[in-house]
Amino acid sequence: MIGWALRRMTQSLLVIVLMTLVVFIGLNAIGNPMDILVGEDLNQAERLQAIAHLGLDKPLWEQYLIFLKGVAHANLGQSFVYHEDAMRLILQRLPATFELAFCALFLAVVIGVPLGMFAGAYPDHPLSRLMMAASIVGFSLPAFWVALMMIMLFSIKLGWLPASGRGETREWLGVQWSWLTLDGLQHLLLPALNLALFKISLVLRLTRAGVREVLPQEFVKFARAKGLSPMRVMCMHVMRNTMIPLVTVLAMELGSTIAYAVVTESIFSWPGAGKLILDSINTLDRPVVVAYLMVVVVIFVVLNLIVDGLYYLLDPRVRIEASR
Amino acid sequence: MNAVQKVLTTRVCLQAQSPWRRVAVEFMNSPTAVVGLLVLLAIVLVAVLAPWIVVQNPYDLMQLNVLDARLAPGSANMDSGYTYWLGTDGQGRDLVSAILYGLRISLWVGIGSALIAALIGTLLGLVSAYAGGWVDALLMRLVDLLLSFPVILMALMILAWLGKGVGNVMLTLVLLEWAYYARTARGQALTESRREYVDAARGQGIGPWRIVVGHILPNCLPPLIVIGALQIARAITLEATLSFLGLGVPVTEPSLGLLIANGFQYMLSNEYWISLFPGLALLITIVAINLVGDRLRDVLNPRLQR
């Protein structure tokens, strides 16, 4: 176990270092950073002074080491626009993004699992066929366009739900949250549902496939033979055995949900890290872009580690392979 | 064996000899897929012929009249009297013309990037399978790395460095897509290279590259075609999303995504059509491609055939 964990952690660290290299090369190879960082109306002496101040006179490998040191200390410089520490800016906005992403996954599970279990238990029912067809549309729909249509229908035509911002927030554990107030929940519903649409289709299909795989197995027949009610068999025996692959897929999907939140946040003016990064790309605020990329890479690598760990704990086959 | 039976067997044999014909016949067995294919062909046709169909060139600012901006569907043009069937956008563009031109960009970017990525990816996949050793390990770790991060994130990252433009969007899509083809081509090539016909070709003294290109590659094509079809749909969606976010095509040449984005601000004042109709065009295109791709997957899947 320890050997396996150590090996996986070394791999993860390698990926992070590799990504710092990619980001660093991207920062330096394309365009002269001087043109972006320093105004053009400087004379030669001032230019050289600025170059020395920014450390751009050093050889490239030394600049990279300095950049790495910054990454390790979570210090990636000041935002050009907000004049604040770039890393702190990202970390301030991250809770809002996490709130949105977790709500989306929650909706996906709450809606997708029951529907998927129904579709798996009665594959020939007309409702099941309808759900499968709807899930294909769910995969095809461009999420950003659906978001606009949701705003048009629910916010403008019907006036049921607000279309922008986080609404009223309440502090918990030192961070402001929307889901603790009724107004905040109303603001949360549309963006979370939009972000969840694709995941609902995914969860529905995964659950359906899982149920169809588990239903013909011996232990289900045995549970039925014991005289348990069909409801109890479904909820206790079938569901548990379909949950294992679902949990690991959902853990992986959390990462992509955070990434796709960029689109949802920008449409619903949700003040999370995704909206910040988009604004920063448009204003060429490079320290913030770099800080965001590094934070997301770390989140991803950690998520991958957790998923692999889950597999290791849940699936004996992985353990056997790893111990070889 | 009587004559009729003999003719029938010969016909069956002839059909079996041409795999592409069998694929075409089986494809036609699904009415949904045929509808999807017909819709797709119609979309491609109007997109290609757009300059001869439309009433105005939406990218030529001289032809736009700001006084005609944000007209509802069915309104008449002030000067020359033609009807804006789907209304106009914020700059006074006729939406029918803008959508057809937008489709041109979307299809060009989607199909173009998918083809280039397929070419590069397949080549690298074959090289990886053929070379083995450290080349294989290096290429496949690179593929793993690329595929483990969500596309939208990688696209944001690349476009943040490259900047806007049709060419840059295509480059980004190629950089993201080749990995899918490379992985599939490598896997398929590794399985195929163990088949008897490869041994037979080797036995005839045919050179390694001719075996790879002439014998293994044609047998790797079916899964690559399926991936290609689905990747085109993904590429079109991604381009639309990036353009919607303001990172894709320039404002002067709006693709469907940018048209939708431009309509967003007017939607709040109930002028729904600027976002609605380009979005519908996008949706129909993607669904049509997905229907064709799904059917291709069923027809070309070797596990279902044998």
Instruction: Return the DSSP state at A238.
Output: I
Residues of A in contact with B99 (CB under 8 A): none
- Could A136 and B290 be called an inter-chain contact, meaning their C-beta atoms sit closer than 8 Å? yes
Query: Are the beta carbons of B141 and B182 closer than 8 angstroms?
Result: no
Provide the token pair at B228. 């290609």
- Tell whether A292 is within 8 A of chain B (Cβ): no
Instruction: Classify domain A88-322 by CATH architecture.
Output: Orthogonal Bundle (1.10)
What pLDDT does residue B304 have?
47
In the three-class reduction of DSSP (H, G, I as helix; E, B as strand; rest coil), residue B118 is classed as helix
The answer, yes or no, to whether residue A194 has pLDDT greater than 50, is yes
Query: Helix, strand, or coil here: A180?
Result: coil
Q: Tell me whether residues A300 and B264 touch, CB distance under 8 A.
A: no
For residue A287, CA distances in Å to A51, A67, A113, A263, B104 come to 17, 11, 41, 21, 36
Between residues 230 and 289 of chain B, which touch chain A (CB distance below 8 Å)? 233, 237, 240-241, 244-247, 257, 260, 263-264, 267-268, 270, 272, 275-276, 279, 282-283, 286-287
β-pairing verdict for B75-76 and B83-84: antiparallel
**Residue B305, pLDDT score:** 47
Q: What is the predicted pLDDT for the residue at B75?
A: 67
A26 to chain B, any CB pair closer than 8 A? The answer is yes
Q: In B, residues 135-174, which contact A (CB 8 Å cutoff)?
A: 145, 148-150, 152-153, 156-157, 159-162
The domains of chain B, with CATH numbers, are: 101-304 (1.10.3720.10)
Q: What is the pLDDT of residue A40?
A: 58
Residues of chain B contacting A278 with CB distance shorter than 8 Å: 156, 245-246
CA A242 to chain centre: 23
Please give the residue of chain A at the shortest CA–CA distance from B290.
Answer: A140
Q: Which residues on chain A are in Cβ contact (under 8 Å) with B156?
A: 262, 277-278, 281
pTM of the model: 0.81
Three-state DSSP class for residue B94: strand
> In A, which residues are within 8 Å of B246 by CB distance?
278, 282
Residues in chain A, overall count = 324
- CB-CB contact of A167 with A181 (8 Å): yes
Indicate yes or no: CB of A300 within 8 angstroms of CB of B290.
Answer: no
d(CA A40, CA B306): 68
Smallest Cβ–Cβ distance between B287 and the set A140, A151, A278 belongs to: A140
Half-sphere exposure of B285 (CA within 13 A, CB side): 32
Q: How far is A122 from chain B (nearest CA, A)?
A: 23
pLDDT of residue A273: 84
Q: How many CB atoms lie within 10 A of CB A301?
A: 21
Task: Tell me the Ramachandran region of residue B250: left when phi exceeds 0, alpha when psi lies from -120 to 50, beta otherwise.
Answer: beta
* pLDDT given for residue B78 in this prediction: 63
Q: What six digits make up the tokens of A283?
A: 């204003």
Contact A166, A184 (CB under 8 A): yes
Listed residue (A66, A57, A83) closest to A20, CA to CA: A66
Per-residue pLDDT at B174: 92
Contact B218, B298 (CB under 8 A): no
Task: State how far residue B220 is from chain A, nearest Cα, in angstroms.
Answer: 27
A26 neighbourhood in chain B, CB within 8 Å: 157, 161
**For residue A34, is pLDDT > 60?**
no
Gap between the Cα atoms of B141 and B150, Å rounded? 16
pLDDT, residue B102, reads 87
Calculate how close chain A gets to B277, using CA atoms only, in Å: 11
CA B77 to chain centre: 35
Task: Give pLDDT tens digits for A94-140.
Answer: 888 888 898 999 999 899 888 888 888 887 888 888 887 778 777 77
Q: Say which residue the tokens 């849940």 belong to.
A: A314
Contacts of B263 in chain A (CB under 8 A): 148
| Out of B148, B150, B290, closest to residue A260 by CB | B150
Strands A175-177 and A170-172 turn out to be: antiparallel
DSSP class of residue B214 equals: I
Please indicate whether, in this complex, the C-beta atoms of A18 and B279 are within 8 angstroms of each other. Answer: no
> Tens digit of pLDDT for each residue in A9-19?
888 888 888 87
B14 inside 8 A of chain A by CB = no
Distance in angstroms (rounded) separating the CA atoms of residues A217 and A122 = 16
Q: At what angle do helices B3-17 and B19-28 cross, to 10 degrees?
A: 100
Closest Cβ–Cβ partner in B148, B156, B240 for A304? B148
A305: three-class secondary structure by DSSP? helix
Strands (E), chain B: 75-76, 83-84
Q: What is the pLDDT of residue B119?
A: 93
∠ CA A255-A285-A78, nearest 5°, is 95
Roughly what angle, to the nearest 10 degrees, separates helices B256-267 and B217-244?
30
ipTM attached to this prediction: 0.76
Confidence of residue A324 (pLDDT cuts 50, 70, 90): low
3-state SS class at B196: helix
pLDDT per residue as tens digits for the range A207-234: 888 888 887 888 888 888 888 887 788 7
The answer to whether the beta carbons of residues A115 and A123 sit under 8 Å apart is no
Pinpoint the residues of chain A covered by CATH 1.10.3720.10.
88-322
In order of A49, A263, B239, B243, B280, the CA distances from A142 in angstroms are 49, 11, 11, 12, 10
Residues of A in Cβ contact (< 8 Å) with B287: 137, 140
A26 or B31, greater pLDDT = B31
Q: Considering only CB atoms, which chain B residues are within 8 Å of A18? A: 145
The parts of chain B modelled with pLDDT lower than 50 are 1, 304-306
What gap in Å lies between CA A311 and CA A314, rounded to an integer?
5
The secondary structure of residue B136, as a DSSP letter, is H
